[in-house]
């Protein structure tokens, strides 16, 4: 990475100046390099001299000049400029920029990929909705976020596993069973009232009818508790099939589907509870079993086992994460949770400490809800899905690509307004259409070259010196840096931002530079640039799980 290389060079230059007594031997400030917003100021900029000025009491401009004296010459850099009040600006060499076209064409679909020095196993657990109903748009946002991050980390050399955690025990599964049993009785013409906490969507009625068609009156001979339990199990299986199909529509799949029930069946729950008890973190009081999380930094203690003897969600989650870290031995775990789980983070961090697991290995991303609208009109919940807006309805209306692009377009921790009308527009107003049209335009240019028999494989990229060409080149070489920024920040919204910027640069280049012209040598060079642009655009779209169309 060029950015990291420049940071290392700056650090070494400061250390060399300090050795020679030209700069005071103060503690090194954080060395950082940023992209400039204006190419006239160079391509990269560092404010390191101004940071050092605070501790050295020296002039930032003088510090910058001293650093400059010890910076090595780099083949990528044409010039290094000191600018007031104390910036160091780096200007990329045009020849180096142009040569990146050949590097992109050589790497093709692996451009930007990297290999870690040592294996790091990272697990992404996301969606994990209780199998009690269809997915809503909020689940879709989390699904796209998780699958995209998994793609990004895999491209950087991580060993990635995607997991769906199935909450197949507990009160919500019990409620599903009782809801199904009531609807089952009603379908058979029996008098039955829905419980207060029943699932109300039409999907429960449809499922009850299917069960009647398949099993007839089989469950009438059972007690209500037995029938509800069996029907709950049937409902969970059928809803998991629906969930898996809907996620597949969204191009989201999982390497493993992990059932909560298995934690109890294998004895892991009993073992971990015993471990916490042995370490002095469990106490019985007020008729319940408590985990003393205050001893580990949380604001309050939390119940592990209720007075009725049933484990809490928190207890199961502790055991589940013990399994992730200490049984399956993931180096890092990333959980993507809904907004209602924000308060669950500190107590899980406390539980990890109690089990001897470094909390730094555990990352939680909170995914805020999505509001749907058509222009100014707010979209209401559907009767079929209950009190939610079903994900499949949105996919059917706007398509998978638009769903994925728009779900990624905002930071996960911010509320999202999803305009369905905008997502369907075939115009520059719709960002996914705008980006995909750039790729389709690239494919069209390359088809024209093929039809005319133009062999551009030997094109001389050193001819790419016009500003629109250089501007496009600067965008192309940003791709690995953007990918690494997503990894460092866990914020995949940088991908759609970059895709749109790259599409803008390509559209601008296309309008200002005739690709296939009477100048055969320049045409061949520009065709190579066009193909490289297509490769990078397809790469970023691929990481987002979005298609790169050849025609539109």
Q: Which residues contact 208 (CB under 8 A, 6 or more apart)?
A: 180, 183, 184, 186, 187
Q: For position 375, what pLDDT does the model report?
A: 84
Do residues 384 and 378 touch, judged by C-beta distance below 8 A?
no
Q: For position 433, what pLDDT does the model report?
A: 97
Q: Which fold has domain 2-91?
A: Gyrase A; domain 2 (3.30.1360)
3.40.50.720, 3.90.1420.10, 1.10.1670.10, 1.10.730.10: which CATH number matches 98-112+428-543?
A: 1.10.730.10
Q: For position 29, what pLDDT does the model report?
A: 72
Q: For position 44, what pLDDT does the model report?
A: 94
Q: For position 381, what pLDDT does the model report?
A: 62
Do residues 126 and 142 touch, judged by C-beta distance below 8 A?
yes
Do residues 537 and 438 touch, judged by C-beta distance below 8 A?
yes
Please state the domain extents for the chain: 2-91, 98-112+428-543
Q: For position 262, what pLDDT does the model report?
A: 97
Phi first, then psi, for residue 192 (nearest 5°) are -160, 135
Rounded CA-CA distance 436/251 in Å is 17
> Is the C-alpha dihedral spanning 27, 31, 37, 39 positive or negative?
positive
First vs last Cα of the chain: how many Å apart?
A: 35
| 3-state SS assignment for residue 175 | helix
| 3-state SS assignment for residue 282 | strand
Rounded CA-CA distance 299/106 in Å is 55
Rounded CA-CA distance 188/208 in Å is 10
> Is the C-alpha dihedral spanning 108, 110, 113, 114 positive or negative?
negative
User: Any idea which residue has 């995914």 for tokens?
Assistant: 367
Do residues 135 and 244 touch, judged by C-beta distance below 8 A?
no
Dmax (CA) of the chain: 94
Instruction: Return the number of other C-beta atoms located less than 10 Å from residue 462's C-beta.
Output: 11
Q: Which residues contact 456 (CB under 8 A, 6 or more apart)?
A: 449, 523, 524, 525, 527, 528, 531
| 3-state SS assignment for residue 428 | coil
pLDDT by residue for the chain (552 residues), tens only, comes to: 788 899 999 999 999 999 999 988 888 778 888 988 787 888 999 999 999 988 888 899 999 999 999 999 999 999 999 999 999 999 999 999 999 999 999 999 999 998 888 999 999 999 999 999 989 999 999 999 999 999 999 999 999 999 999 999 989 999 999 999 999 999 999 999 998 889 988 999 999 999 999 999 999 999 999 999 999 999 999 999 999 999 999 999 999 999 999 999 999 999 999 999 999 999 999 899 999 988 888 889 999 999 999 999 999 999 999 999 999 999 999 999 998 898 899 999 999 999 999 999 999 999 998 999 888 888 876 545 556 788 999 999 999 999 999 999 999 999 999 999 999 999 999 999 999 999 999 999 999 999 999 999 999 999 999 999 999 999 999 999 999 999 999 999 999 999 999 999 999 999 999 999 999 999 999 999 999 999 999 999 999 999 999 999
Is this model's pTM higher than 0.85 or not? Answer: yes
Rounded CA-CA distance 50/35 in Å is 17
């Amino acid at each position: 990475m060029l950015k990291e290389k420049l940071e290392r060079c700056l650090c070494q230059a400061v250390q060399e100046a300090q050795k020679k007594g030209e700069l005071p031997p103060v503690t090194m400030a954080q060395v950082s390099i940023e992209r400039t917003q204006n190419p006239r100021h160079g391509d990269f900029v560092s404010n390191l001299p101004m940071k050092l000025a605070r501790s050295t009491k020296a002039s930032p401009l003088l510090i910058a000049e001293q650093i400059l004296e010890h910076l090595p010459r780099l083949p990528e850099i044409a010039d290094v400029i000191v600018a007031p009040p104390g910036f160091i600006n780096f200007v990329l060499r045009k020849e180096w920029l142009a040569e990146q076209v050949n590097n992109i064409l050589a790497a093709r679909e692996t451009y930007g990929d990297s290999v870690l020095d040592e294996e790091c196993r990272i697990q992404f657990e996301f969606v994990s909705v209780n199998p009690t109903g269809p997915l809503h748009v909020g689940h879709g946002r989390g699904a796209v976020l998780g699958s995209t991050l998994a793609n990004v980390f895999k491209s950087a050399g991580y060993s990635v596993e995607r997991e769906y955690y199935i909450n197949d025990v507990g009160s919500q599964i019990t409620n599903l069973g009782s809801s199904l049993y009531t609807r089952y009785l009603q379908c058979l013409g029996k008098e039955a009232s829905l419980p207060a906490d029943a699932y109300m969507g039409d999907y429960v009625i449809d499922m009850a009818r299917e069960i009647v068609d398949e099993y007839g009156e089989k469950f009438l001979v059972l007690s209500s508790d037995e029938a509800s339990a069996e029907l709950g199990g049937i409902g969970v299986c059928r809803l998991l099939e629906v969930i898996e199909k809907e996620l597949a529509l969204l191009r989201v799949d999982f390497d493993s589907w992990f059932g909560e029930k298995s934690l109890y069946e294998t004895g892991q729950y009993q073992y971990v509870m015993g471990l916490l008890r042995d370490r002095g973190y469990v106490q019985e009081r007020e008729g319940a079993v408590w985990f003393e999380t205050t001893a580990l930094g949380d604001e309050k203690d939390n119940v592990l086992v209720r007075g009725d003897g049933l484990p809490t969600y928190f207890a199961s989650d502790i055991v589940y994460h013990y399994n992730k870290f200490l049984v399956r031995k993931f180096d890092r775990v990333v959980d993507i949770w809904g907004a209602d789980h924000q308060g669950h983070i500190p107590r899980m961090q406390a539980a990890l400490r109690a089990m001897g697991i470094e909390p730094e290995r555990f990352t939680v991303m909170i995914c805020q809800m999505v509001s749907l609208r058509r222009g100014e009109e707010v979209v209401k919940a559907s009767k079929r899905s209950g009190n939610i807006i079903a994900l499949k309805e949105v996919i059917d209306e706007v398509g998978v690509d638009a769903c994925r692009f728009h779900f990624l377009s905002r930071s996960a921790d911010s509320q999202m307004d999803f305009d369905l009308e905008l997502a369907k527009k075939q115009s520059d107003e719709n960002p996914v259409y705008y980006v995909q049209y750039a790729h389709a335009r690239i494919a069209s240019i390359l088809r024209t070259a093929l039809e005319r028999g133009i062999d551009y494989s030997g094109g001389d990229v050193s001819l790419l010196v016009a500003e629109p060409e250089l501007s496009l080149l600067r965008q192309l070489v940003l791709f690995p840096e953007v990918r690494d920024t997503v990894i460092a920040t866990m914020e995949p919204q940088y991908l759609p931002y970059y895709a749109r910027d790259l599409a803008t640069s390509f559209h601008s280049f296309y309008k200002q530079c005739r690709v296939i012209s009477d100048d055969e040598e320049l045409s061949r060079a520009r065709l190579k640039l066009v193909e490289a642009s297509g490769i990078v655009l397809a790469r970023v779209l691929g990481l987002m799980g979005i298609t790169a169309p050849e025609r539109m």
